[in-house]
Amino acid sequence: MPRRIRFVEALREGMRQEMERDPSVFVMGEGVGPHGSCFKQTEGFTAQFGEDRSRDTPISELAIAGTAAGAALLGMRPIADLMWIDFSMLAMDQICNQAAKLRYISNGQVNVPVVYRMTTGRSKSNAAHHSGSFYSWYINTPGLKVVVPSTPYDAKGLIVSAIRDNGPVIYLEHKLLLNMRGEVPEEVYEIPLGVADVKREGADLTLVATGAMVGLSLAAAEAVAKDGASVEVIDPRTLMPYDGDAILASVRKTGRLLVVDEGYRYCGFASELIAFVAEKALEVLHQPPRQLTTRHTTIPFSPPMEEFVFPDAARIAGEIRAMLDITAQGDSSNG
Amino acid sequence: MDEQTRMHLLKTMVRIRLAELQLAIMYKNGKVFCAAHLYEGEEAVAAGVCANLRSDDCITSTHRGHGHCIAKGMPMKEMIAEVCGRITGCCGGKGGTMHLFKPGIGVMGTVGIVGGGIPLATGLGLAMQMQKTDRVAVSFFGDGAANNGAFHESLNLAALWKLPVIYVCENNGYATSVAVGRSTSVPDIGVRGTAYGIPGITVDGNRVDEVYEAAAEAVARARAGLGPTLLECKTYRIRGHFEGDDSLYRTREEVAEARKRDPIEYWKGRLLGEGVITEDDVAAVNAAAEAEVADAAAFAENSPFPDPQDALVLTNQA
């Protein structure tokens, strides 16, 4: 019987196996040592690898990011934990001006094999400074790759690929997914960066979703299936570079595109995908594409307001029904 | 300091000076088309520090980094060609005057963001320590960067982990247009080392022997695993922040006064006075540097520009 483990365990196992394989791999960040990180992503690492390779740091995001990049220039493969994507803004210069650009401006004379790990997205009333989904900022920076796994299986395969990649990779862990269980092989495996995964096949509409939106979109697809709608759900898994071919192939089949994104809509990942499909295959679309994103506001604290600003399964189902011009039968999830 | 080192310091300073003056001419005649930040007057810092480094030691540097690259061993023609945007430049024209690399000899990058190189050098030091080598990293930065968060975060971390990094603050009196007294809470930036529990030393950055000796001690400490040093070298930025800067924020008299403390004249005077060299030796050093600079400038001007399409090599677009 296949083994089922939690997302955070899969991520940890991927890091641990890479650290066992390659002595140049190490983790650094505030609390990654004996505490084992905020969500226990590095639990047991200090005991197994010592403090040298499971390296606690001060809360110095800029120095964490820059020191990791500098160590990567000399062949180390640091995994730098910035804890929350919101905190990574303190490290912007080192991530976006330095790590992202060093390979290019040196004309390929250096590699920067660093992974910047951050948690992302909504959780429970984490409010304005702990709920961000700012990955479009990183997508918008040439030189960075951006990875957002949505399952335990993907979490492990993608962290292995991110560690082995020779460029800086932003690896985002959605807080609501950390306890999700799923089948994960014990052996090491890679999921190539830039390859999407069709999470559900369908014929009427292509729904592209990422991170925690994947599960919600699958639930919505299930709900509308009762109404006769056949929705294909695609998870790009890597947001930069994204798998345009997989999305185009699906849209050519279904003729409809809905993108569900926990980021904001303006210059966001969803708007990028819609622009991409419009440029490449507008003629195959039966109707205008749509996007469902987090509403364009600071994330509020109080639960009813927080609930209101994020996409949820009911709103996703509502978008699908609107696009397919169907009404709900026998359930009330269209809110 | 042995005789060979004394001569080396003189040669390095003269080579840097003449390269920078050549770039100033090339800026005037349009061959250098960018905002060039020249190093005239500060040569003793690069020369004195880098004379203590091996080729496997690494440096990071700043927007005013030509001198550091030359002192660390970058061939002058690759440097000038890069400043001129040519394909033969050290970065094939992708980097330019503020982004110079030559990893094989430890030039791990000059960066255009004030303070940006400090965390990177800290990371170089971390790798050197984790790889159990006795290599050292040097971060050159200015007085402006000493007021930047990158400075604080990096020095704390390097002190905490005893990293083999020498933080060389070139206090040249100005952070762009703002005088150091208007930007900095203490007269000597070197004292800030105390805040991190590391040696913080202030030397006359126009006296290459003082720089050399202080750097030698800092490098020895770092190689021995005793941790980082903050070394402030007080110097003066003879030219504007960039070529074409109107320098309205300071007086001509101030600059004229500073020119009297020229680091090359000081060192020449010392060596002549002590009978280490003759006027003929000085002339030979100048002639060799002039020839090298002329060759490098001609090499740059005769080199092709990159193909426009090269701009998209090494990108990761979808």
Question: Which of A133, A154, A183 is the last residue in one of the domains?
Answer: A183
Chain A, 141 to 170: residues with Cβ < 8 Å from chain B are: 142-145, 167
Domain residues of chain B, as ranges?
3-303
- Distance from the Cα of A179 to chain B's closest Cα (Å) equals 31
Query: Which residues in chain A have Cβ-Cβ distances shorter than 8 Å to B315?
Result: 104, 142-143
Separation of alpha carbons A43 and A9, rounded Å: 9
pLDDT score of A22 more than 70: yes
- Whether residues A101 and A235 share a domain: the answer is no
- Whether residues A177 and A56 share a domain: the answer is yes
Find the mean pLDDT for residues A110-134: 96
- In sequence order, which residues have a C-beta less than 8 Å from that of residue B108 and are 6 or more positions away? A70, A73, A110, B58, B59, B60, B101, B120, B121, B124, B137
Tally of residues, chain B: 318
How many independent structural domains does chain A possess? 2
- In sequence order, which residues have a C-beta less than 8 Å from that of residue A175 and are 6 or more positions away? A39, A119, A120, A121, A122, A123, A126
CB-CB neighbours of A140 under 10 Å: 15
Pick the catalytic residue from A35, A129, A130, A286. A130
CB contact under 8 A, B101 and A105: yes
Asked whether residue A188 is domain-assigned, the answer is no
Q: Which domain holds residue A292?
A: 197-324
Confidence of residue A334 (pLDDT cuts 50, 70, 90): very low
Tally of residues, chain A: 335
Confidence of residue B318 (pLDDT cuts 50, 70, 90): very low
Is the Cα dihedral A166, A171, A48, A26 positive or negative?
positive
Asked whether residue A191 is domain-assigned, the answer is no
The percent of residues in chain B predicted with pLDDT above 70, rounded, is 99
Closest CA to B114 of B138, B95, B141, B83: B141
Q: Give chain B's mean pLDDT.
A: 96
Closest CA to A239 of A268, A278, A198, A201: A268
> What is the DSSP secondary structure assignment for residue A188, as one 8-state letter?
-
Confidence of residue B46 (pLDDT cuts 50, 70, 90): very high
- Whether residues A173 and A206 share a domain: the answer is no
Q: Chain A: residue nearest B101 by CA?
A: A106
Q: What is the CATH number of the domain that holds A204?
A: 3.40.50.920
Q: A129 an active-site residue?
A: no
Separation of alpha carbons B125 and B130, rounded Å: 9
- Whether residues A17 and A111 share a domain: the answer is yes
Strand pairing class (A257-261; A77-84): unpaired
Confidence of residue A333 (pLDDT cuts 50, 70, 90): very low
Cis amide prior to A241 (ω within 30 degrees) = yes
**Side chain identity, residue B38:** L
Q: What is the CATH number of the domain that holds A57?
A: 3.40.50.970
- Whether residues A50 and A130 share a domain: the answer is yes
pLDDT score of A265 more than 80: yes
- Whether residues A33 and A167 share a domain: the answer is yes
Q: Give chain A's mean pLDDT.
A: 96
Asked whether residue A36 is domain-assigned, the answer is yes
Q: What is the pLDDT of residue A79?
A: 98
Q: What is the pLDDT of residue A329?
A: 64
Alpha helices by DSSP H, chain A: 7-21, 45-49, 61-73, 92, 100-105, 135-139, 152-164, 212-225, 244-254, 269-281, 303-309, 313-324
Q: How far is the CA of A156 from the CAs of A30, A124, A173, A190, in angstroms?
A: 22, 25, 11, 8
**Span A213-253, pLDDT tens digits:** 999 999 999 999 999 999 999 999 999 999 999 999 999 99
Question: Which of A127, A154, A183 is the last residue in one of the domains?
Answer: A183
Q: What is the pLDDT of residue A335?
A: 38
Asked whether residue A334 is domain-assigned, the answer is no
In the numeric block, which tokens belong to residue A37?
Answer: 């990180």
Query: Which residues in chain A have Cβ-Cβ distances shorter than 8 Å to B156?
Result: 58, 60, 63
> What is the DSSP secondary structure assignment for residue B74, as one 8-state letter?
-
Separation of alpha carbons A308 and A211, rounded Å: 19
Closest CA to A80 of A180, A162, A178, A195: A162
Query: Which residues in chain A have Cβ-Cβ distances shorter than 8 Å to B115?
Result: 93
Nearest to A106 among B109, B119, B150 (CB): B109
pLDDT score of A75 more than 70: yes
Nearest to B91 among A65, A106, A240 (CB): A106
Please provide the CATH number assigned to the domain covering B3-303.
3.40.50.970
Query: Which residues in chain A have Cβ-Cβ distances shorter than 8 Å to B318?
Result: 194, 240-244, 276
Nearest to A66 among B127, B150, B313 (CB): B150
**Span B172-229, pLDDT tens digits:** 999 999 999 999 999 999 999 999 999 999 999 999 999 999 999 999 999 999 999 9
CB contact under 8 A, A73 and B128: no
Find the mean pLDDT for residues B294-306: 98
Asked whether residue A331 is domain-assigned, the answer is no
Nearest to A70 among B101, B122, B317 (CB): B122
Backbone angles phi, psi at A227, to 5 degrees: -90, 5
B266, B207 Cβ separation under 8 angstroms: yes
